[in-house]
Structure 1
Amino acid sequence: MNSTDVQQFYARHMQLLDGGEAEAWAGTFTPDATFAAPSMTEPVRGRDGIAAGARAAADGRTAAGEVHRHWVAMTTALNTADGIETVSCVQILAVPRGGAPRVHLSCVMRDRLVRQGGQLLVAERRITRDDRPGG
């Protein structure tokens, strides 16, 4: 594993999300990936579900007149038999049109990355929120 590869992966990955490119962002997950977050009753499985969630979130930001920027920091990465296990702190900045930026959410993102076709992809993502007991 090259730490620069992981850093570049997350930079491109979050720029796609923040740019509203739902299908391209979902393409950075494996076809059978899982995505779990506290706001969900069940994890989302597969690229189609992940893309649908990203489209809905982008539509909500547009309707609210906000831009969101996901800032991934303090990433640790560990090679395992199943891929690369990463843990990152994520701050989501919300910027209303004509307004001042604010911290929208503070989270911890735990991913399992795998290499397929020479590129890193997310096989599993688990998000916890700092403002909720137990994440």
Structure 2
Amino acid sequence: MSQTVSPASASYAALCAEVRRFHARQMQLLDSGEAEAWAATFTEDGLFAPPSLPEPVRGRAALAEGVRTAHAALVAEGEVRRHLLTTEVVEEPVAGDADGAVRVRSYVQVVATRKDEEPRLILMCVCEDVLVSEDGEWRVRERYVTRDDRP
């Protein structure tokens, strides 16, 4: 990992804080079913490659449709899901990358809860993002998710 500033620097700390805020907002949009707002956190041609689908999803329209469909099914089942993104490792912008892409690797726990039932951990994943800044906002250009229980 080539770094342009020291991990102990104020600019690196500020970058990490921005990325944490971005992910917190993004996960809450997903969990609340705000499909268009969640999809808008990706670039227009953003790619999302979850292990549950045979092919990656590309583009905001397809991303939003996926969230609408999944959230409606959860509401019909009476289940609430929370995505808990933790242990982020933020890499410095890649030297020579014209758009200042930042790579982030994190763990995601997905907890499901139904009324009058104990919450249960249903997934443990690794999330690898490539984030870019567009119009002063972080956006996901690429997201790859792998599950710990699958090869």
* 1:15-53 Cα distance to aligned partner (Å, 9 max, x none): 000111011000100000011111111111100011011
Q: Secondary structure at the match of 1:61?
A: helix
Letter in 1 for 2:107: C
2:119 and 2:142 map into 1 onto residues whose CA distance is: 30
Pick which of 111-120 and 55-64 moved more: 55-64
Q: Which residue of 2 aligns with 1:122?
A: 140
Letter in 2 for 1:14: M
Runs of at least 4 residues of structure 1 off by over 6 A? none
Q: Which residue of 2 aligns with 1:74?
A: 87
* 1:57-109 Cα distance to aligned partner (Å, 9 max, x none): 10111111110010000000112125000001000000111211000111000
Q: Secondary structure at the match of 2:18?
A: helix
1:46 to 59, 64, 86: 59
1:125 and 1:102 map into 2 onto residues whose CA distance is: 25
Q: Secondary structure at the match of 1:10?
A: helix
Q: Which residue of 1 aligns with 2:47?
A: 34
- TM-score after normalising by structure 2: 0.85
2:42 equivalent to 1:24: no
Letter in 2 for 1:118: G
Letter in 1 for 2:121: V
Q: Which residue of 1 aligns with 2:17?
A: 4
2:68 to 42, 55, 74: 55
Unaligned segments of structure 1, at least 5 residues: none
Kindly report the root-mean-square deviation, in angstroms, between the aligned alpha carbons of the 2 structures.
0.9
Identical positions, percent: 47
2:121 and 2:66 map into 1 onto residues whose CA distance is: 21
- Size of the aligned set, in residue pairs, is 133
Q: Secondary structure at the match of 2:82?
A: strand
1:15 and 1:38 map into 2 onto residues whose CA distance is: 21
Letter in 2 for 1:68: R
- TM-score after normalising by structure 1: 0.95
Structure having the higher Rg: 2
